[in-house]
Structure 1
């Protein structure tokens, strides 16, 4: 009799399908989809972590969503790498234009106009930086500042941290006593930190400096260049950065630059600190302070000049 009852129970159980596993609740899936659509990986990981903790029975479906997401990220990274490798010289440039006013102290003490441009091309193995700036002022019908500076710097990347740099710089500042000053340098750089919000890099190398003075004399000397590059994205709308030695940030959103060129007769140090605040779209407001110091300037010139700038920056 017991065998008959057991067989009957097995037949009855077989006639009804097993209950299906519960699907991932729609609100949870919508939350994960929204995080993925935002493009912020940290948000995705945070939402998925909470979803797994609150829906332990749906781990398989959540893991499947993450597998698809990671596969898309890998495809996007491969496409971006391929685009960099195949891009021509005139493609994939980023940069900014800057225009505003300044107040100077030192060899001159007046208000003036300041403008500049920065361009960066970043490839798989190479990075090319270009920067030019002009400061101009007149007082009582006379030009009291006519300053031009242009720098080009190619970088070759050995890996994610180590790179070699070359640097060629032209300067003109008649009110500091020289009609032209050329600096050529090459050496090694290393990125100590390179995260989403912070970048810190150093570089150093030998340099040659040629100076044409206002009086007609010319001088060439061997020198050394030391550099530091620091960028800090404080928030989505505010950024501070610190560069030294002419190494420029590739995101082109405001900067601080400092260059130390050291030789036996005259050591030159320049530093520009800036704080950028996003205004609208590609427009930002920049407030910066520049410091220029020569330990042995031409006769009749003082050692230190400063510029305080307020400018509008357009990123492109």
Structure 2
């Protein structure tokens, strides 16, 4: 099941790129984006130091644009693995007018320390560019979709062999997504961003917010400090509802 979802995500992204490349090759821009390497301290379900890798890519095809995001976090405490999270996402946008656009979205998350084997969301909706100036940008988007949660089995490890208290299960439910991406550029070298994401489902709602301050070091390298909060309204038994992550990152920008 996990492999199938990963292959589906890759196939949809590849198909979108291939179709638009053939139809609008004369108006295709180059890929732009950034990659980052980070170190941080986490509180909540785990108390650990961790390393993270992330990449965020975008490309425009006349009225269309596609985005690809991937991140991985790994952490250990006293030699024991305490964090192992992978997140993959893609979005396909279509401009309707100067400010309004439609979008489709697919995301997939695996987090070994959340009580879930995986979480998948497939949906779409409308977005709106509230501000779009050199100094200030603010874009919001939202719409319905399908949420698929694969929940791990709950085991009683005090017995040998371990006793299954709650069997593994898959829950599919109506979902909805809402995001806000706000950015302010103080000058040519320093900028502040605040990204908020809400992923609603009947079973549980995930809320995330990342506040980040980025300062340019060279034309392509930047330093970033950020604070992330992840909240789950109905976590699996035995797991905290809120995790916080403080990071220091080295960021490489390209394609601009």
Partner of 1:270: 208
Aligned-partner Cα distance in 1 for 2:84–2:26: 41
Query: 5+ residue gaps in structure 2?
Result: 1-23, 154-167
Q: Is 1:145 aligned to 2:97, yes or no?
A: no
Structure 1 counterpart SS, 2:113: helix
**Matched-pair contact (CA < 8 Å) for 2:204–2:234:** yes
Tell me what 1:86 maps to. Answer: 26
Matched, 1:239 2:177: no
In structure 2, distance between residues paired with 1:138 and 1:201 = 36
Secondary structure, counterpart of 2:45 in structure 1? coil
> Contact 1:85–1:124 at 8 Å: present in 2 too?
no
* SS across alignment from 1:86: helix
Secondary structure (helix, strand or coil) at the match of 1:280 reads coil
Cα distance between partner residues in 2 of 1:95 and 1:191: 19
How does 1:1-316 map onto structure 2 within 5 Å? 86-87=26-27, 92-215=30-153, 216-242=168-194, 257-316=195-254
Hey, what's the Cα distance between the residues in 1 that align with 2:133 and 2:235? 40
- Select the structure with the greater relative contact order (CA < 8 A; seq sep ≥ 6): 2
CA distance in 2, matches of 1:284, 1:205: 33
Helix, strand or coil at the partner of 1:296: coil
CA offset at residue 141 of structure 1? 2.2
Contact conserved, 2:54 with 2:70, CA < 8 A, in 1? yes
Distance 2:136 2:79 in 1: 46
1:174 and 1:214 in contact (8 A); partners too: no
Q: Deviations over 1:194-245 (max 9, x none)?
A: 1111111221100211011221211111012122121111110001122xxx
More helix by share: 1
- TM-score of the pair, normalised by structure 2: 0.81
Give 4+ residue runs of structure 1 displaced > 4 Å after superposition. none
Using the TM superposition, give the Cα deviation of residue 264 of structure 1 relative to its aligned residue in structure 2, in angstroms.
2.7
3-state SS of the aligned residue for 2:134? coil
TM-aligned CA deviation for residue 263 of structure 1: 2.3
More strand by share: 2
In structure 2, how many angstroms separate the alpha carbons of the residues matched to 1:123 and 1:195? 21
Larger radius of gyration: 1
**CA distance, structure 1, for counterparts of residue 203 and residue 152 of structure 2:** 18
Q: Can you give the 5+ residue segments of structure 1 that lack an aligned partner in the other structure? A: 1-83, 243-256
